[in-house]
Amino acid sequence: MKNKKTIFEVLFEKEICFAVNVSLNTFNGKEIDENSRDYFLMVQKQDLEELKNMNFKKTDNYVNVYERVLSVSEIAEFKTYMDKFVKVQHDQFGRVYELKNNSFKKLHESIVCDLIKKLRTFFIISNAAFEFYDSIHDSIQLSFSRHIAPSKMHQLHKMALVEIEKENPDLSLIDKLLSEMESTAKNGKRHKSNKL
């Protein structure tokens, strides 16, 4: 029977850029101070295809970053590879290790920068399309009534464009707006199909 490869063997074999985070947890009780460490891997979304069935979960704090808690045996294996890593952060919350000559942080920043450029372009174009559509729609609406209101979808696109054009846009807000746009689009399709 063929031996199953460890997570680190897969990561090294496929040359996937990743980081290992050691989170320090402290519990201060009346009579006991308890400390523990959680070790977990962080990878980019683009690498998930290579890491199927390895239980990575999306992080709440970072766009396109997925994490996986390491088992006791995986922690021991990580420690055998310490010569492949450099400690890039160490504070009261824990430590972060990156591969030497393959910075997870730089890769993440590059991916986020590209994502922001694409989103900026998308929202500039989509808002221009909404403005064009609304100018035609508004002139028709004006001939029948005095009330003109942009669609909910247009409002969401405007909000996203305002956010994405900031120097440091909040990508979690953009993600929420995109989810709301998707929900609005689905509701619009259901509404149209019900009319038919």
How do residues 43-89 score in pLDDT, each as one tens digit?
Answer: 999 999 989 889 999 988 787 899 999 999 999 999 999 999 999 99
Higher-pLDDT residue of 143, 135: 135
Say what the pLDDT of residue 28 is: 65
pLDDT at position 43, please? 95
Q: By mean pLDDT, which of 6-10, 22-26, 99-103 is the weakest?
A: 22-26
Whether residue 1 is predicted with pLDDT greater than 50 in this model: the reply is no
Residue 66 burial (C-beta neighbours within 10 Å; 0-12, 13-18, 19+): buried
Pairwise CA distance, residues 193 & 78, whole Å = 54
- What angle, rounded to 10 degrees, do the helices at 104-144 and 171-195 form? 40
**pTM here?**
0.68
* Nearest Cα to Cα of residue 126 among 80, 160, 174, 97: 160
pLDDT digits (tens, 9 = 90+) for 16-30: 999 999 998 766 666
In this prediction, what percent of the chain has a pLDDT beyond 70?
Answer: 80
Reported as a pLDDT band with limits 50, 70 and 90, residue 155 is confident
Sheet order of strands, 94-99 included: 57-58, 65-69, 33-44, 18-28, 94-99, 85-91
Residue 125 CB burial class (10 angstroms; 0-12, 13-18, ≥19): exposed
Q: How confident is the model at residue 31 (pLDDT cuts 50, 70, 90)?
A: low
* Lookup result for tokens 């004006």: 142
